[in-house]
Amino acid sequence: MRPNSKRLEPAPLPDVTAAAGTEAWSSMVYIRPVLVADLSADLQREAEGIETLYSVHRPDGARVALVADRRLAFALAREHDMAPVFVH
């Protein structure tokens, strides 16, 4: 080692179990296909002519959005600083 150089220590790895429930994990959302036939009658009327919609859910299961296109679901999530994951 040179006389004036500092020794670099590796950065500690994050504890994944401790991170659960933090802001980083709470921004994750799940995107999954939903058959329109499985939705309420009101939503079925609104989705006239569409067979499958894409639901955006938080990890606790709460629906955040329901859209007609998978790409739109991902774009919508990212636009709102969420980390989308596809579930099937």
Q: What is the pLDDT of residue 50?
A: 93
Per-residue confidence in pLDDT tens, the chain, 88 aa: 455 544 545 445 444 444 445 555 568 999 999 999 999 999 999 998 999 999 999 988 899 899 999 999 999 999 999 999 998 7
**Alpha carbon distance 26, 3 (integer Å):** 46
Of 4, 39, 21, the residue nearest 55 (C-alpha): 39
Q: What is the pLDDT of residue 24?
A: 52
Which helix (H) or strand (E) segment holds residue 53: the answer is strand 52-57
